[in-house]
């Protein structure tokens, strides 16, 4: 059954080598966790391994291209007509918005409040969905060369998607709000209650550390509170979908669905919130 002759039996079980690389790995992890010490090594390795990333995206890119190809002329024309019909509507709304914004600035000035600057934004294309199972990350096509900075908020047309956690010269990695390492300060839009939204690695996010008396209901919209300065205030983050009040637990178990369409975007928006504005170096 088993072809014994072709199996080698010379064995170098190498405990010393294992201990060495284990210590090396632990050292690497600690350095990497502490901050930016390994950024250079990581980006050098990333560049060396870029062919893998490029080849790995071939199937999806081919698929998307084929779908476009076979959808044909008519579907495309329909899309175009729809977009054309939408445009005047959106422009009209925008006019109104501009008027409102001007008015708002005026009132704020009257109130002696800080003027909220409208955010600068830059569109980035999605290069790759982070491949590691049970993490939620994206790779996008804008990097340090475009003025992207660590911790920069990333949004889509519907709400906050996440923040930049790794900047390479031409690409960067975005950690989504559903990633287990992500947390964002929010406010319940209805009641003004402040809370934290944590990623879980699943499609939903969790609102933790709220007691049974907290004023929160299913259907409440959670918007970014702006506390901590990372994210600008007032952007939609998630909508409460489920609340479980177990008397044995110290806190409520609150689940919420992200408002941003995390799994459906081909383009994302990078924003430079007012005070932390670093203008893009290059367009």
Partner 1 sequence: MNLSSAARGRLTIAASFAAALLLAIVPGPDWAEPFRPEWVGLVLIYWCMATPQRVGVGVGWSVGLMLDVLYGSLLGQHALAKALIAYLTVRFHTQLRMFPRWQQAASVLVLVAINHLLVLWAKALASEAPVGWSYWTPSVVSMLVWPWLFVILRDIRRRAKLA
Q: Give the footprint of partner 1 on this chain (CB under 8 A).
A: 2-3, 6-15, 17-18, 21-22, 24-29, 31-33, 38, 41-42, 45-46, 49, 52-53, 55-57, 59-60, 128-135, 137, 139, 166, 173, 179-181, 200-203, 206, 263
User: For residues 179 and 232, which CB has a smaller minimum distance to partner 1 in the complex?
Assistant: 179
Give the dihedral sign, CA 223/183/281/145.
negative
User: For residues 8 and 112, which CB has a smaller minimum distance to partner 1 in the complex?
Assistant: 8
Helix (H, G, I), strand (E, B) or coil at 116: coil
Instruction: Spell out where 141-279 has E strands.
Output: 153-155, 160-167, 172-176, 183-188, 194-199, 205-208, 221-224, 236-244, 253-258, 267-272
User: For residues 204 and 276, which CB has a smaller minimum distance to partner 1 in the complex?
Assistant: 204
Instruction: Give the nearest distance from C-beta 90 to partner 1 in angstroms.
Output: 30
User: For residues 122 and 204, which CB has a smaller minimum distance to partner 1 in the complex?
Assistant: 204
Q: Compute the distance between CA of residue 103 and CA of residue 107 in angstroms, rounded to an integer.
A: 6
Cα–Cα separations (whole angstroms), residue 179 to 124, 193, 207, 256, 260 = 20, 23, 14, 14, 14
Instruction: Give the nearest distance from C-beta 164 to partner 1 in angstroms.
Output: 12
Q: Compute the distance between CA of residue 160 and CA of residue 176 in angstroms, rounded to an integer.
A: 9
Instruction: Give the nearest distance from C-beta 12 to partner 1 in angstroms.
Output: 6
Instruction: Give the nearest distance from C-beta 211 to partner 1 in angstroms.
Output: 21
User: For residues 185 and 232, which CB has a smaller minimum distance to partner 1 in the complex?
Assistant: 185
Beta bridge partner(s), residue 268: 124
Answer for the pair 216, 224: CB distance below 8 angstroms, yes or no.
Answer: no
Instruction: Give the nearest distance from C-beta 166 to partner 1 in angstroms.
Output: 6
């Amino acid at each position: 059954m088993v072809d014994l002759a072709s199996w080698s039996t010379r064995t170098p079980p190498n405990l010393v080598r294992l201990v060495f690389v284990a210590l090396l790995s632990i050292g690497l992890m600690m350095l990497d966790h502490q901050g930016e010490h390994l950024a250079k090594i990581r980006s050098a390795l990333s560049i060396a391994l870029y062919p893998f990333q490029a080849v790995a995206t071939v199937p999806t890119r081919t698929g998307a291209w084929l779908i476009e190809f076979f959808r044909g002329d008519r579907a495309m024309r329909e899309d175009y007509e729809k977009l054309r019909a939408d445009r005047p509507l959106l422009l009209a709304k925008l006019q109104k918005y501009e008027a409102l914004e001007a008015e708002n600035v005026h009132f704020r000035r009257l109130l002696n409040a800080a003027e909220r600057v409208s955010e600068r934004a830059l569109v980035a294309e999605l290069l790759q969905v982070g491949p590691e199972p049970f993490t939620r990350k994206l790779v996008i096509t804008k990097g340090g060369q475009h003025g992207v900075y660590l911790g920069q908020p990333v949004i889509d047309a519907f709400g906050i998607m996440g923040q930049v956690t790794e900047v390479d010269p031409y690409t960067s990695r975005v950690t989504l709000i559903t990633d287990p390492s992500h947390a964002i300060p929010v406010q319940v839009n209805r009641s003004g209650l402040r809370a934290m939204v944590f990623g879980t690695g699943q499609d939903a996010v969790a609102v933790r550390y709220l007691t049974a008396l907290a004023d929160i209901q299913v259907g409440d919209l959670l918007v970014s509170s702006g506390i901590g300065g990372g994210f600008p205030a007032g952007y939609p983050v998630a909508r409460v979908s489920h609340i479980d009040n177990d008397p044995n637990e110290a806190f409520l178990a609150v689940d919420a669905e992200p408002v941003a369409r995390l799994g459906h975007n081909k383009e994302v928006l990078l924003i430079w919130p007012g005070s932390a504005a670093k203008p893009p170096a290059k367009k």
